[in-house]
Structure 1
Amino acid sequence: MVCIPCDSLPSRAVMAMVSAQAFGRSSSLCPLVMMMVNLRSVLLSIAWFSAAILPAVCAADSFDDQLRSVCRVVGTELPLRVVAQRIGDAHGINVWIDRRVDPSTPVSLSAAAGSLQQTLEAIAAKSQLEVGYASPVVILAPQGVAIDTATRILKLRSEMKQLPISAATRLLEPQDLAWDRLSTPAEIAQQIAAAWQVSVVGESLPHDLWDRCKLRGVDAADALVLLAAGFDLAPNYDPQQATFGFDRIEKSAGVALEYPSTKVAASMARELRKIDPDVKLENRGALIRVTGNSAVHHRIRSDRSAAKPKQNGGLADVAPGMRRFTLRIPGMKPAASILQAVCNASGFTLDTSAASSENLKRPVGLEVEDQLATAIIESICTQAGLTVRFDATTAVVADRP
């Protein structure tokens, strides 16, 4: 389960636990819903949880599969670091926030379901940031930085593959890397050196104090580039000394990778030139060598035009009217707020066009156990002097005659 830390909530927020279980025994997933209710709005955060399902979700078939999978993030004015952590934990990927980005930047996302990639790009757009992709890392950074950082990861990884096989195997081995709060870049550099058994000259890195962090399944290229990028530095390898140092970034990077020719047809080539005007394509028989930034390579690998989001399961196949919930909301809250929260959780669309604002503002209380969503909505309406009828997936609320 992924929860929002208490210090990220509005001061008057009240938290209520809602557990929902699909009607019948055919569903293998039980969603756990955290509702945060304040005097003005209801914030809903849904974390899909199951002892059997969660490990499979975190261990995706591939990085691109995770980006295509459905991600539901709901919240208002949540700190960027909280949103990034929740997405990373749920999908088993790393969401890296560049040190020049304020991690407390407020992010608001609607309840509309979309792919993980769409969610990440929506977060970036709302915060005027850029997204870079370098499996298994997603980078959120200022414009012109994220894509370049991801490109440098791909480039260094490609260079590591050219090293003697023993060194290449060691440096490209995925490992978890974690450091404590108030760690310095030099200290993290030494952790990287110990993890991948390589010499790293961390003394050249500027002094800074970093928050705690855990990176999952990264290689030495990921770790070194992320460590240096926030200072406009890039790692370089001295094969004579078998040592990594850091140099000032002078120009944008590009990396050459090869793909089957069928993946880069004429239409794809035109699209790649729009992404990176400096992209270079070189035919090599059955292969095509593409030199460009990480956005170019991500576009080729993901081929989003042909891919559809993978459903995570859960309540997706259960009709809204057949979903059951246990709901406890302390105190009295406006009927409209609780109605909207229950409809969001159950999958109903709420229509209040025929209801008066006076009745929608009426305070109501609610404490039900293992009840159908329709029964819960009816109970709320009864307390507020309203009626409700259900048309397929819409709850139509009106004033009582």
Structure 2
Amino acid sequence: MPLRDAVVRLVESQKGGVLLDRRVDPGILVDLDVEREPLESLLQRLVVSLESGNVSNNDALKPGVCFVGDTVYIGPETAARQLESLLTFQRKRIESLPEKTGKKYLRRTPLRLPMLTDPRDALGRVAKSSGLSWERLETLPHDLWDRTDLPALAVYEQLTLLLIGFDRTFDFVSKDGSRIAPVSLDAFALESVATDRQPGSRDAGPAETKSGDPSGGNPSKGNPSGTSKPETRLPIPLEKIRFTLTIKDQPARGLLETLADRAGLELEIDEAALEKRGVSLEQRISFELKNATAADLFRATTKPVGAVFRIQGRKLIVK
């Protein structure tokens, strides 16, 4: 049966909720006996069926599942793996907000989306009903979703689930956390590792790594005049973070400084070694990376100008 029909029957039989990521084809045929199988077995077989239907053999589309309360999220395996830690991290950040605002994020309500809902409208309604407001919500691409009925979820869980299909999450853009903005997961993870973030520490939110210029001003180091305690860092080691970004005609030196700072690395440049080999970091470079490691990122920055690098502890050495 088509995946969409299987999901509907799964919801009816298990009395829970299922959210199908927008990147998963709802028309994929799956072989399931929804009425006779327990949920755990059903989900395992669903993943196997989805893998066999992935004719593109694209690892980025390899399916996975994640439980969020009584809701089952079905999406790319990388997103499903990240979702649990992302929710934990957002919950810790919310605990540092003023109590009045924190309660808004923890309020639990069902999430019901009618047929052909624009996710931007859904996000707007969730925020408005909880006394929150968005900035830059229009930056999300237009889309239309199928009808969705999910059991009671905390507001921050709803926001996270609605955004993850766009490789986004939400970030605070006001001190009290009542104003939020969608941000790239790549930028969010990188900035979270690099800095002790506080609500409202940046008016414009983290820089988008998909833009041509990732510098975007100096990264925030927190709000020294604020009363909020520092945020808990996202527990993702640097070597496990993946980056998708496009760089156009940027000086290698400035790019290295920005990327090293945001990755929480101390940049050490051996100027004598570079001069001896006739290498200039003032050369402008361009590249595009998708799902790249930190090593791939620094290699793409140094190789075009003839420099080499190594990461030693928390130090990035370029020569």
Cα offset, 1:112, TM superposition: 9.5
Cα distance in structure 2, aligned partners of 1:94 and 1:231: 20
- Given that 2:13 and 2:34 are in contact with CA atoms closer than 8 Å, whether structure 1 keeps it comes out as no
Q: Which has the higher mean CA deviation after the structures are superposed, 116-125 or 234-243? A: 234-243
Q: Is 1:243 aligned with 2:166?
A: no
Q: Is 1:185 aligned with 2:108?
A: no
* Structure 1 residues without counterparts, runs of 5 or longer: 1-77, 256-289, 294-401
Q: Is 1:150 aligned with 2:84?
A: yes
How high is the TM-score relative to the length of structure 2?
0.51
2:168 alignment counterpart: 233
Q: Spell out the pairing of 1:252-271 with structure 2 (5 A cutoff).
A: none
- Given that 2:101 and 2:178 are in contact with CA atoms closer than 8 Å, whether structure 1 keeps it comes out as no
Cα distance in structure 1, aligned partners of 2:45 and 2:65: 10
Residue 7 (structure 2) aligned to one of 67, 84, 97:
84
- Pick closer, same or farther for the CA change 1:130–1:224 going to 2, 3 Å: same
Residue 159 (structure 2) aligned to one of 224, 234, 242:
224
- Pick closer, same or farther for the CA change 1:91–1:158 going to 2, 3 Å: farther
Q: Spell out the pairing of 1:115-130 with structure 2 (5 A cutoff).
A: 115-128=38-51, 129-130=63-64
2:99 alignment counterpart: 165
Cα distance in structure 1, aligned partners of 2:101 and 2:110: 19
Cα offset, 1:133, TM superposition: 2.2
Cα offset, 1:245, TM superposition: 0.5
- Pick closer, same or farther for the CA change 1:160–1:91 going to 2, 3 Å: farther
Count how many residue pairs are aligned between Structure 1 and Structure 2: 182
1:134 alignment counterpart: 68
Partner amino acid, structure 2, of 1:179: L
Cα distance in structure 2, aligned partners of 1:144 and 1:107: 21
Q: Is 1:203 aligned with 2:138?
A: yes
* Structure 2 residues without counterparts, runs of 5 or longer: 52-62, 193-233, 238-319
Residues 113-135 of structure 1 show CA distances to partners (whole Å, capped at 9, x for unaligned) of: 55312211210121021112222
- Given that 1:130 and 1:143 are in contact with CA atoms closer than 8 Å, whether structure 2 keeps it comes out as yes
Cα distance in structure 2, aligned partners of 1:292 and 1:132: 18
Cα distance in structure 2, aligned partners of 1:209 and 1:99: 9
Cα distance in structure 2, aligned partners of 1:97 and 1:236: 23
How high is the TM-score relative to the length of structure 1?
0.41
Pick the structure with more strand per residue: 1
- Pick closer, same or farther for the CA change 1:91–1:112 going to 2, 3 Å: closer
1:319 alignment counterpart: none
Cα distance in structure 2, aligned partners of 1:177 and 1:158: 23
Partner amino acid, structure 1, of 2:67: Y
- Given that 1:233 and 1:247 are in contact with CA atoms closer than 8 Å, whether structure 2 keeps it comes out as yes
The structure whose Rg is larger is 1
Q: Which has the higher contact order (CA 8 A, sep 6+)?
A: 1
Q: Spell out the pairing of 1:2-401 with structure 2 (5 A cutoff).
A: 78-110=1-33, 114-128=37-51, 129-201=63-135, 202-240=137-175, 242-250=178-186
Cα distance in structure 2, aligned partners of 1:99 and 1:158: 27
Cα offset, 1:238, TM superposition: 2.4
Partner amino acid, structure 1, of 2:13: A
Cα offset, 1:108, TM superposition: 0.7
Q: Which has the higher mean CA deviation after the structures are superposed, 192-201 or 106-115? A: 106-115
Cα offset, 1:97, TM superposition: 0.7
- Given that 1:134 and 1:154 are in contact with CA atoms closer than 8 Å, whether structure 2 keeps it comes out as no
Query: Residue 138 of structure 2: SS of its match in structure 1?
Result: helix
- Pick closer, same or farther for the CA change 1:246–1:83 going to 2, 3 Å: same
